[in-house]
Amino acid sequence: MHEYERKQLLERVGREGATVGATIPDTIEIDGESLDLSAFVFETRRQETVPPDHRERVEAVKTKLRQERNRRIERLESGDVSYEQGEDLADSIVGIDRALEALESLESGDIEAEKQAARTADRKRWMQFIQQALGKDGESGDRRARGGP
């Protein structure tokens, strides 16, 4: 594979929105083990939240998918594959990314904890906005009161 082709494929998998319209692979081989990825994602997403007894399995699959994605990126970066193999790798990486996005978007089931975390983050952002609007930056205090810029 030529250098420009390799860079083109790497840019494709790193592009924001690369997963739009991408399909999740039916099956994927990870560490010699075959996983019916499309069916797993479909069945998991069919539920509104991930049940506690299934949460550990989902997290394990996500970890394995991230590891496999990294291995495939490294293989693509090495350039030791033909352009056709590189295209297949790029397609599979985008498919893995699509599956990860689908699994990441699931609610954990601990809705109250998530709501509390969101409220805390909102309050923090609001306080930072107020401090910025008043010209305070934490260390130097009120710059307008001292006549600073």
Structural domains of the chain, count: 2
Q: Are 142 and 124 in the same domain?
A: yes
Phi, psi of 64 (to 5 degrees): -65, -40
Q: Encode pLDDT of 1-35 as tens digits.
A: 888 888 888 888 888 877 787 888 888 888 888 88
pTM value is 0.65
SS3 28: strand
Q: Are 15 and 35 in the same domain?
A: yes
Of 138, 42, 25, 37, nearest to 92 (Cα)?
25
Q: Are 20 and 77 in the same domain?
A: yes
Instruction: Assess contact for 73 and 15: CB atoms under 8 A.
Output: no
Q: Are 51 and 61 in the same domain?
A: yes
Q: Are 98 and 117 in the same domain?
A: no
Q: Are 24 and 80 in the same domain?
A: yes
Instruction: Give the structural domain span for 27.
Output: 3-109
Q: Are 70 and 121 in the same domain?
A: no
Write the Ramachandran bin of 144: left for phi over 0, alpha for psi from -120 to 50, otherwise beta: alpha
